[in-house]
Amino acid sequence: MLKIRFVLAVFVASFCAVGCGGPEDSGTYQLTGTVSYQGAVVPNGNITLIPNHVKGNRGPGASAAIKGGKFATSPGKGHVGGAYILEIMGYDGVPVPSTEDPDNIPTPLFPPYRLEVELPKENEDLSVEVPAQ
């Protein structure tokens, strides 16, 4: 019985020392910012952060919704700094009637736009102007 208590005490002490992890110790940084197209905010869309493996970035990818021209990755689910490719998809913001038709998608404002960026190893605020196609 004493042996079980000792093992349990060591386990609890180890757990407390290591912690359960959270956004603060995930090693990632938050990316926030704005996206505009032809001088106006992008009403709806998505921005995806793709690590640029060609330039040596082996970090995680991330994504965030664009709403009213603004986006923010979730804390603890962002970038690690370095070379990334941003893929931006923007939509007109007009609600699509709910149907079971898989082709019933929002109207895109532009084709998917890709941009290579170098992100710092810290939280970053980024403004992107998608060029006219």
Strand 82-91 with 44-51, pairing: antiparallel
pLDDT in tens, 76-126: 899 999 999 999 999 998 877 776 767 777 899 999 999 999 999 999 999
Token pair 């990316």 in the structure block, residue = 31
User: Domains of the chain: which residue ranges?
Assistant: 27-130
Report the pLDDT value the prediction gives residue 105, as an integer from 0 to 100.
78
27-130: CATH superfamily? Immunoglobulins (2.60.40.10)
What pLDDT, in 10s, does the model give residues 9-23? 444 444 444 444 444
